[in-house]
Amino acid sequence: MWDNLFQAIDDQYENMVKTRRYLHQHPEVSFQETETAEFIANTYDKLGIPYESKVGGNGVVATLKGGRPGKTVALRADFDALPIQEENEVSYKSKRDGAMHACGHDGHTAALLGLAEAILPFKEDLPGTIIFLHQHAEEYAPGGAKPMIEAGALEKVDAVFGSHLWATTPFGTIETSKGPFMAGADRFEIIVKGKGGHGAQPHETKDAIVIAAQLITSLQQIVSRRINPLDTAVLTVGTIEAGHSFNIIADTAKLVGTVRTFDAQVQEAIIKEIENITKGVCTASGADYDYRYEKGYPPVINHEKEAGFILEHTQKADSALTTREVEPVMAGEDFAYYLMEKPGAFFFTGANIPGHDYPHHHPKFDFDERAMPHAAKTLLQAYLTTQEEE
């Protein structure tokens, strides 16, 4: 019977493509996804699968109870877009200026909706319960996962799984790891407060741009010289805003950056080191500063047994798929919150288009749509394997 079930997912491919392309043309950024949430809810209305809407914000949670006893497994897909102007020239190009599905969340949603429709005819033969967890606002902290959990989305759930279509991984490949998989992602902001003046009289100023340049160089020494080389961390200054004219010395400079870690002690050490270095550089230059550090999503730490379900059983879903355990990546994901509450695992579904190697969050991002059934079948296999385990 399970072979017929996986074939039913393949049979949903055209519907998945249709759904994905509609969502791609009508993107909504984080915390504004009202039309997308309504589209998802309407789909479950048509299928006759009960659901709750406005869960923790714009979240939608649908529940399919099988006809046989078993465990409750949640399968998650996010559905928010990014504030990016699309540069792809495709028939399904975004119709909304300044908004684009540049991370594949349209595909995640289409895959999960397609999975729900595919397995519905097999409902009476299914063990346990499947929770279809459609999450809003993954892209921006505080994100949608935490409020959905607080609203009860994981109550009575025994395990949770999620997939991310990964445009830099070869098509047909499933990747995950047993343990740390994605990094914690934080944000910091530093405002250097100097003294402005005429560009021809630098000795009468405290040049915020020069001080900021020294600070950026010094901050790079935190990871290379203050953190144990066996620990993993990234510190990036992503933006600097300063100055208004070529002949005016700036009085302020604003630096905004990100820190990525897997270990809480390393995270705390970096928080302190940023302030120590900022204070030292600014004091030496006679300047003042403001420093703000915002802890974002925690790291995604897969549970070993559940990650093993992905690595060891995916070929039961599709013999053409290959799996591999990979090193953690420094990107962040609020799926981490689910794994802090329940056993589970997150995995990448390879969706690279050869020759179209634009990364996630790029205005020319796209993915191989044939990967959507791969994600759906791997999620389904994880659910089935969970039912078999004691």
Give catalytic residues, as residue numbers.
80, 138
Return d(Cα 188, Cα 294) in angstroms, integer: 6
Residue 164's DSSP bridge partners are 348
- Helices and strands (H, E) in the chain, number of each type: 10, 16
34-47 vs 105-119: helix crossing angle, rounded to 10: 10
Residue 350's DSSP bridge partners are 166
Give the count of alpha carbons within 13 A of 385, CB side only: 23
| Cα→Cα distances 143→36, 49, 316, 362, Å | 16, 26, 34, 21
Angle at the Cα of 10 (from 104 to 134), degrees rounded to 5? Answer: 40
Give the count of alpha carbons within 13 A of 24, CB side only: 26
Return d(Cα 6, Cα 277) in angstroms, integer: 56
